[in-house]
């Protein structure tokens, strides 16, 4: 996948003498010490990341951690003090005024927490704002704005004014305004934070749906882990202007870099974070069902390795069933004469669960069974098992 936005060694110092503050930062002084010495504020320090095309990259952090500053350096609403921002390989920090305006008109658009709609313009005119500014003719820009309004489900409100709409609808207009320019990159600074929880979830789902049909590269600022997990492909966590961790939602939750990161998911419902596929471990012995491997061979294999359980898969790695030393021995004894069939050895009460099953579903099954639960992908391929130990470890990390 192609890297759409690459940020290298990006700094923002607010204040009159940024050079001095940068020098002190290089010497390893902290944000607070630098404020003591120079009265300048470190907004962002040494940000490094690469966002892939079509990715939803969420930046999380407490208030004042530099999220807004960072995202505004990606379209230079805030001028970086040092470092590079490469968009499609081009360093935008070196762009002249006109090139920057072009970039904002056609490559990077933005959605704001406060909506920032123009109250004197109708919904349609608001949605067409970016196109109007870039000099597009009225008919064409209204046609494109109408399409954007349709995408967000607001076509019937084209002639209304922003103050006649609810908050959620206003933000849909904000989204339509950003979509109308057909810019491939969307910056969304706490775009849903001002909305009611119910509307917020609705908008998140809408964004996910939108991504599945017309994938934008999205930088989404949030201070809400639930939101980050719902929509983010990867999450970057910021603390005091620095990025302390970047990873997939699972990585962040299972291997938090420090207590600050961990603090975000106290009280988060893990069953929302994980599904069965995320935590399945393939540390159970797998036995291939093929000619030359029979029950007795499998039994020997298990005893050899000191295991009590095994999973039988076929050559396409399709899950067949679970066996134990006991079930294998019993099946082998019964079918003394002819070659016993594998089915005879499968443990009856074990059924596989799909990888996208929520943890809350798996939890009940694992708790009520003597055996681990095998997990299979959508194509029936065996992925691993979830047992009590794995579940407890997962739950323990988040409480």
Ligand X SMILES: Nc1ncnc2c1ncn2[C@@H]1O[C@H](COP(=O)(O)OP(=O)(O)O)[C@@H](O)[C@H]1O
Contact set with ligand X (CB under 6 A): 14, 41, 43, 61, 63-69
- Among 11, 129, 264, 319, contact with other proteins (rule: CB under 8 A): 129
Residue number, 68 or 204, with CB nearest to ligand X? 68
Q: How far apart are CA 59 and CA 220, in angstroms?
A: 6
Q: Are 192 and 227 in contact (CB under 8 A)?
A: yes
Residue number, 187 or 366, with CB nearest to other proteins? 187
Q: How far apart are CA 44 and CA 20, in angstroms?
A: 15
Bridge partners for 87 per DSSP: 5, 90
41 binding partner (options ligand X, other proteins, Mg ion, none; Cβ < 5 to 8 Å by kind)? ligand X
142 binding partner (options other proteins, ligand X, Mg ion, none; Cβ < 5 to 8 Å by kind)? none
Stretch that binds Mg ion, among 25-33, 60-68, 243-251, 364-372 (CB under 5 A): 60-68
Q: Does 315 bind other proteins (CB under 8 A)?
A: no
Tell me the CB-side half-sphere exposure of residue 54, using CA atoms within 13 A: 7
We find the least distance from the C-beta atom of residue 126 to ligand X, in angstroms, to be 24
Q: Are 309 and 299 in contact (CB under 8 A)?
A: no
Q: Does 177 bind other proteins (CB under 8 A)?
A: yes
Instruction: Please calculate the CA angle 271-277-282 and round it to the nearest 5 degrees.
Output: 125
Q: Does 75 bind other proteins (CB under 8 A)?
A: yes
Residue number, 145 or 284, with CB nearest to other proteins? 145
Rg (CA), the chain: 27
Q: Does 69 bind Mg ion (CB under 5 A)?
A: no
- Give the 3-state secondary structure of residue 43: strand
- Among 38, 45, 65, 68, contact with Mg ion (rule: CB under 5 A): 68
Residue number, 143 or 257, with CB nearest to ligand X? 257
- Among 30, 41, 134, 193, contact with other proteins (rule: CB under 8 A): 134
181 binding partner (options ligand X, Mg ion, other proteins, none; Cβ < 5 to 8 Å by kind)? other proteins
Q: How far apart are CA 390 and CA 399, in angstroms?
A: 15
Q: Which residues does 193 contact at the CB level (< 8 Å), separation at least 6?
A: 113, 200, 222, 223, 224
Q: Which residues does 35 contact at the CB level (< 8 Å), separation at least 6?
A: 41, 42
Q: How far apart are CA 105 and CA 394, in angstroms?
A: 45
Q: Which residues does 271 contact at the CB level (< 8 Å), separation at least 6?
A: 358, 359, 360, 363
We find the least distance from the C-beta atom of residue 217 to other proteins, in angstroms, to be 16
Stretch that binds other proteins, among 126-134, 245-253, 269-277, 346-354 (CB under 8 A): 126-134
Residue number, 32 or 343, with CB nearest to ligand X? 32
- Site string (93-122) toward other proteins, x via CB under 8 A: --------xxxxxx-xxx-x-x-xxxxx--
User: Binding residues for Mg ion, per CB under 5 A?
Assistant: 68
């Amino acid at each position: 996948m192609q890297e759409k936005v690459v940020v290298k060694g990006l700094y923002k110092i607010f204040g009159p003498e940024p050079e001095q503050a940068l020098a002190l930062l290089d010497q390893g002084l902290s944000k607070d010490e630098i404020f003591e010495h120079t009265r300048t504020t470190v907004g962002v320090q040494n940000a490094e990341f690469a966002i892939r095309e079509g990715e939803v990259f969420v930046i999380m952090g407490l208030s004042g951690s530099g999220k807004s500053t960072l995202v505004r350096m990606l379209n230079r609403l805030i001028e970086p003090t040092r470092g590079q921002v490469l968009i499609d390989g081009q360093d935008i920090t070196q762009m002249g005024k006109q090139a920057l305006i072009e970039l904002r008109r056609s490559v990077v658009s933005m959605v704001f927490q406060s909506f920032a709609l123009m109250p004197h313009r109708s919904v349609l005119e608001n949605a067409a704002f970016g196109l109007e500014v870039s000099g597009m003719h009225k008919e064409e820009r209204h046609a494109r704005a109408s399409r954007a309004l349709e995408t967000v489900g607001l076509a019937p409100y084209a002639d209304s004014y922003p103050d006649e709409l609810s908050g959620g609808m206003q933000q849909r207009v904000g989204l339509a305004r950003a979509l109308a320019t057909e810019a491939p990159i969307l910056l969304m600074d706490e775009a849903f934070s001002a909305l009611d929880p119910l509307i917020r979830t609705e908008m998140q789902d809408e964004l996910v749906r939108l991504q599945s049909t017309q994938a934008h590269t999205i930088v989404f600022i949030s201070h809400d882990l639930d939101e980050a997990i719902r929509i983010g492909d990867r999450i970057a966590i910021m603390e005091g202007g620095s990025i302390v961790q970047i990873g997939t939602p699972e990585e962040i939750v299972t291997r938090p870099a420090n207590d600050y990161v961990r603090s975000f998911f106290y009280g988060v419902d893990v069953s929302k974070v994980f599904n069965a596929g995320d935590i399945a471990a393939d540390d159970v012995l797998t036995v291939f069902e093929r000619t030359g491997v029979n029950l007795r061979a499998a039994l020997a294999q298990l005893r050899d390795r000191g295991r009590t359980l095994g999973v039988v898969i076929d050559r396409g790695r399709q899950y067949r069933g679970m066996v134990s030393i006991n079930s294998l021995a019993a099946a082998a004894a019964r079918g003394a004469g002819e070659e016993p069939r594998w089915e005879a050895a499968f443990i009856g009460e074990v059924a596989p669960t799909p990888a996208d099953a929520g943890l809350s579903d798996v939890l009940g099954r694992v708790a009520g069974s003597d055996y681990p639960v095998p997990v299979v992908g959508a194509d029936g391929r065996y992925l691993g098992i979830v047992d009590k130990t794995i579940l407890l470890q997962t739950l323990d990390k988040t409480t």
